Amino acid sequence: MTILAIEDLTVDLGGRGLIRGIDLSLERGKVHGLAGESGSGKTMTGLAVLGLLPHGARTGGTISLGGTDLLSLSPKEMNARRGREIGTVFQDQSTSLHPMLSIGRQLTDHMRHHLRLDRAQARERAAELLGKVRIPDPGRALDRYPHQFSGGMRQRIAIAIALACDPQVLIADEPTTALDVTVQAGILRLLRGLCDDLGLAVLLVTHDLGVMSAVADVISVMRDGRLVETGPRARVMRDPADPYTRALLDALPGRSTP
């Protein structure tokens, strides 16, 4: 079932077309991977969904979520939707968590604002969320600060915050790029598990084709603001239709040697 549909999205900034007409849909319980090199527009796509495009960007096309075109909303209306219906996880966990607030506060503030819970309810739910992302000893963890956790743990906390208000959509932009490979494995398993259990519609933006291969159900490849290929993961990675996709796969180390 389609939860979010992007139709003919265009984004212009300062006369340059950053996204030049793309179509993409996010399905319930499925991970849609968006691949491409830097400058392809893949991060911009996530920002467009979130309403966080840079100052001066102009958009065209539609992004429909629950019957509303997100691009037509005012900043205030978008604020209300952003935390509640769309969760986000970014690459750099050292800057996406507030360094001076306990993680309990960071989770509960968010929830109390959107879900109107009282302190006790919010705290209970926060502990539950931390359990879901497998942070050990969630009760005590609530009172700790981000710097007391490792990089991988902080990313799990960021995921917990993203899921706090039970969003339907999760945008993950290079969520594991800054992490060690063994830590990354844990996060990828977590993301896949959460997507399956909670029926999330996930947009996973990454340049790492290995990550794509492990977690994505559908893959779209972007280049210079356009989509060059979309299809099921196995098909796109084993038998790419587009020469650019083929080139990306061939450029992988070890790929050209059988």
Partner 1 sequence: MSLLSVEDLVVDHRSPDRPPVRAVAGASLTVEPGEVVGLVGESGCGKSTLARAICGIAAPTAGSIDFEGRRVRPLGLRRRDPALTRIQMVFQDPFASLNPRRRVGRQIADGIRGEATPEELLERVGLDAGMAGRYPHEFSGGQRQRIAIARALAARPSLLIGDEPISALDASAQAQIAGLMRSLAVESGAGLLFISHDLSVVRLIADRIAVMYLGKIVETGPTAEVWDDPRHPYTRALLAAIPEPDGSGTLPAELPGDVPDPAAPPSGCRFHPRCPHAMDVCSVREPMPRDGVACWLYDSEGSAAE
Partner 2 sequence: MIRRLPETWRRPLAVTGLVITAAWLIVVIAAPLLAPYDPLAQKFPRLRPPGGGHWFGTDELGRDVFSRVLYGARLSIPLTLLLVALSVVIGGLLGACAGYFGRWVDETIMRVADLVFAFPTVILAMAVAASLGASLRNAVLAILVVSWPAYARVTRGLVLGLRSREFVLSGRLLGFSVWRSLRTDVLPNVAGPILVLATLDIGTQLLLLSGLSFLGLGAKPPTAEWGAMVASATQVFDKWWVGVFPGLAILTVVLAFNFLGDTMRDALDPQTARAIKERAL
Tokens representing residue 178 in the block: 């800054």
The distance from CA 169 to its chain's CA centroid, rounded to whole angstroms, is 8
What does residue 2 show for φ and ψ, rounded to 5 degrees?
-80, 125
Look-up of token digits 């100052």 = 55
Q: Indicate whether 166 belongs to the interface with partner 1 (CB under 8 A).
A: no
Q: Which does 74 bind (CB under 5 to 8 A by kind): partner 2, partner 1, none?
A: none
Site residues for partner 2 per CB under 8 A:
14, 54-56
d(CA 105, CA 119): 10
Q: Whole-number minimum distance, CB 189 to partner 1, in Å?
A: 5
Site for partner 1 in 183-212 (CB under 8 A): 183-186, 188-189, 192, 207-212
Q: Which does 55 bind (CB under 5 to 8 A by kind): partner 2, partner 1, none?
A: partner 2
- Would you say 117 or 185 has its CB closer to partner 1? 185
Question: Strand runs (DSSP E) across 28-141, as ranges?
Answer: 30-35, 58-65, 68-69, 86-89
Residue 240 is classified by DSSP as -
Binding residue for partner 1 (CB under 8 A) from 124, 128, 180, 196?
Answer: 180
- Contact indicator for 157, 92 with CB cutoff of 8 Å: no
- Would you say 142 or 249 has its CB closer to partner 1? 249
Q: Whole-number minimum distance, CB 43 to partner 2, in Å?
A: 18
Question: What is 133-175 written as a DSSP string?
Answer: TT-SSHHHHTTS-GGGS-HHHHHHHHHHHHHTT--SEEEEEST
Angle, alpha carbons 134-140-143 (nearest 5°): 110
Tokens representing residue 138 in the block: 């969630």
Site for partner 1 in 221-250 (CB under 8 A): 233-238, 249
- Would you say 9 or 237 has its CB closer to partner 1? 237
Task: Give the bridge partners for 20, in sequence order.
Answer: 10
Site for partner 1 in 30-69 (CB under 8 A): 37-38
- Would you say 101 or 247 has its CB closer to partner 1? 247
Binding residue for partner 1 (CB under 8 A) from 80, 101, 241, 252?
Answer: 252
- Would you say 14 or 75 has its CB closer to partner 2? 14
**Site residues, partner 1 (CB under 8 A):** 37-38, 150-153, 180-186, 188-189, 192, 207-217, 233-238, 249, 251-255
